[in-house]
Homo-oligomer: A and B are copies of this chain.
Amino acid sequence: MRDVFIVGVGMTEFGELWEKALRELITEAGLEAVQDAGVRGPDIDAMYVASASAGRLLGQQQLGVLALDEAGLAGHHVPATRIEAGDASGAAALRSAALAVASGAHDVVVAGGVEKMTDVLEDDATRALASSADMEWEGFFGATLPALYAMMARSHAAEHGTTRDQLAHVAVKNHEHGADNPDAAFPFTTSLESVKGSPPVSDPIRMFDCASPVDGAAALVLADRDTAEQLGGPRVQITATAQASDALALHRRDAITELASSQAAAEEAFAETDHGPEDVDLAELHDVYTIAELISLESLGFYEPGMAATATVKGRTTHGGDLVVNPSGGLKARGHALGATGLAQAAEVAAQIRRDAGERQVEDAQVGLTQAVAGTGGTSIVHVLEGGGEL
């Protein structure tokens, strides 16, 4: 398997982008990535495009071809495939693209992701999110994602004594990070009181514990080593890509206070590199709810079970701590544009490693990790990114 490099990064702002169509968003991110890489359209050998809900909400399938077509590249007839893995769709597209380069099948591959979630009926968006859970065992009975995560939070609290205050600290920390991110949908700070006083959604989860679905797109250009060296720009190496599954429905799992799929993916990813969790300088994690960041930190091996909350409160997961978790603001402050999220995570880590992160730059960022989760953990995808020369 060949080495794989991120040679170009592109992102739209995240937010309520009513004036931009799905195809405009993916094209904007894709063109930015292609320009950043210094490649031309005809250099692209294949595209993988992620979207979780476009088929359902917009009636549009074949998103890969749509993106290729909109970029004016349909005449090149290169393969363009849509990848879907619920909330983890963007990371799944990145992984497919990375494997396509690693295998030698293609030299230059674009991984893109896009979602339009705001200009649909609220109930439709909620159901689209819930479709990443088990529809027959959970969704049919009215369980939405916050309800399922609330059960995880209560179980975590019963086992480890996790408090309402500790959950709020995650949101406050991620908004502090996101306030410095010009692409973030919610670039402002908040307070413990504000989070704890926000309207209840599904006890103990309150509105400001939740990441909000937004519109947005992100794209990365990947290339093999020879091509990356020819391009000569800054590059970031993908040193591990790992994906793991678990039962879709919570009741079919051994435990709901951990994410077994994230644990399995992280173990595989670290085995692929010569690093352990202690070597990671920054991580973009799936903080779709505040409890999710704590469980993720524990499942990925950064903290022992039950220790992530204290670490968060003590400031160990922000600048100057053990590692910076969600320097972009995470799903919470950047916003969660499902198909784009996994790629936005990788774009943030790449920017950090390239020292392009401006106000939110993580000091001495060498090794970064991304973790995407679909639904309540049916799928987890972990990537490890590192400097690959010319930085």
Binding site for B on A (CB under 8 A): 1, 21, 23, 52-53, 55-56, 58-66, 68-69, 74-75, 77-86, 92, 96, 99-100, 102-105, 127, 130-132, 134-136, 139, 242-249, 252-254, 260-261, 264-265, 374-375, 378-379
- The residue from B52, B103, B265 contacting A61, defined by CB atoms under 8 A apart: B52
Residue of A55, A68, A80, A245 with most partner-chain B CB within 10 A? A245
Query: Contacts A62-B132, A81-B83 given; 17 further ones with Cβ under 8 A?
Result: A1-B105, A21-B136, A55-B56, A58-B135, A60-B131, A61-B132, A62-B248, A64-B85, A69-B378, A74-B247, A75-B254, A77-B260, A78-B244, A79-B245, A82-B84, A99-B99, A102-B103
Residue on B nearest A79 in the bound complex, by CB: B243
- The residue from B53, B64, B77 contacting A264, defined by CB atoms under 8 A apart: B77
Nearest CB of B to A133, in Å? 8
Nearest CB of B to A295, in Å? 16
Residue of A63, A69, A102, A136 with most partner-chain B CB within 10 A? A69
Complex Cα gap A104–B211 (Å): 37
B-chain residues with CB within 8 Å of residue A65 when the two chains form the complex: 85, 245-246, 248, 374, 378-379
- The residue from B60, B75, B86 contacting A62, defined by CB atoms under 8 A apart: B86
Let me know if B66 and A248 touch, CB within 8 A. yes
B-chain residues with CB within 8 Å of residue A53 when the two chains form the complex: 55
Let me know if A23 and B136 touch, CB within 8 A. yes
Complex Cα gap A27–B92 (Å): 23
- Contact A92-B81, Cβ < 8 Å, known A55-B55, A248-B65: yes
